[in-house]
Amino acid sequence: MPYITTKDGTEIYYKDWGNKNGAVVTFSHGWPLNSDNWENQMYFLASQGYRVIAHDRRGHGRSSQPWEGNNLDQYADDLAELFDHLDLKDIMMVGHSTGGGEVARYCGRHGTSRVSKAVLVSSIPPLMLKTDKNPGGLSIEVFNSFRDATKKDRAQFSIDVPTGPFFGFNREGAKLSQGLIWSWWQQAMMCSFIGYYDCIKAFSETDCTEDLKKMDIPVLLLHGTDDQVVPIGASAREGIKILPNGKLKEYPGGPHALPNIHIEEINQDLLDFLRS
């Protein structure tokens, strides 16, 4: 399996599928999952002739489980090392949830010289936490409850999240997929405890406002109007006001897990944006 070793000795696992001479699309996953969660989109675009690359963030999946560096700055720096190692250019970066914050922070810290476009799906920017300047965010008590549940019974919490709000299976009329729940649980339990715990702070308290301002490339925001994890009002609808060249598409009634629940529509939106 392909890995790179970062400057601080962390091994980052990545997948590199499709046409090695094709246009490059990279995928950044959400908390506390790994690159497997993008398999539908990766297979679809690779089958269309693109080169698709997705990594497991440090502390997640098959990557190392370091005690340090479980924050958005380091996640972005790890991604920069991967891009440099593979010498990727003209990339379309795609990020879901925390991965969208990773994409924004990469552009904020490392610029867009290697990036042509970006897609933020159900993503955390600009800021999830409720503050005086961000009154539409979620209170710190919400994220403290995540931390408490992690320490009390991480395994059960990792069943409760996908059974309920992540996929929207707690909504009346939702068609529950036990397979998706098991997949989420498996990926979550592959995550290190410290990576799982620290990433809660990373996705909830990191302000990506300045990163969005520096994204001087076309950016597509895809977000469900019934996202119970990253509510659209304080995320995509605020982010579109900040981005220099952004476009927002709302999925009516869509849950947080758009890549898993609205597979065909997400695939087509990514392909159309690539070709635009």
Average pLDDT over residues 95-114: 98
Tell me: the pLDDT tens digits for 11-41? 999 999 999 999 999 999 999 999 999 999 9
CB 58 within 8 A of CB 34: no
Stated pTM of the model: 0.97
Tell me: the pLDDT tens digits for 112-131? 999 999 999 999 999 999 99
Cα 143 to the center of its chain, rounded Å: 18
CB 128 within 8 A of CB 135: no
Q: Exposed/middle/buried for 67, CB within 10 Å: 0-12, 13-18, 19+?
A: exposed
Instruction: List phi, psi (to 5°) of 243.
Output: -60, 135
Per-residue confidence band for 165, with pLDDT thresholds at 50, 70 and 90:
very high
CB 49 within 8 A of CB 22: yes
Nearest Cα neighbor of 237 from 259, 221, 216 is: 221
Is residue 1 predicted with pLDDT exceeding 90?
no
Rounded to whole angstroms, how far apart are CA atoms 103 and 118? 8
Tell me: the pLDDT tens digits for 136-156? 899 999 999 999 999 999 999
Nearest Cα neighbor of 97 from 272, 224, 230 is: 230
Q: Which two tokens stand for residue 16?
A: 């590199």
Catalytic residues: 97, 227, 256
* Boundaries of every domain in the chain: 3-275
Outline where the chain has alpha helix (H).
Answer: 39-47, 72-86, 98-110, 140-163, 178-190, 193-205, 209-213, 236-242, 258-261, 263-275
Q: Which two tokens stand for residue 91?
A: 């990339």
Tell me: the pLDDT tens digits for 218-269? 999 999 999 999 999 999 999 999 999 999 999 999 999 999 999 999 999 9
Nearest Cα neighbor of 114 from 157, 71, 81, 148 is: 81
Rounded to whole angstroms, how far apart are CA atoms 212 and 105? 8
Domain covering 3-275 in this structure, CATH number: 3.40.50.1820
* pLDDT for res 177: 97
Rounded to whole angstroms, how far apart are CA atoms 42 and 92? 13
Q: What is the DSSP string of 107-154?
A: HHHH-STTEEEEEEES---S--B--SS-TTSB-HHHHHHHHHHHHHHH
Let me know how long the chain is.
Answer: 276
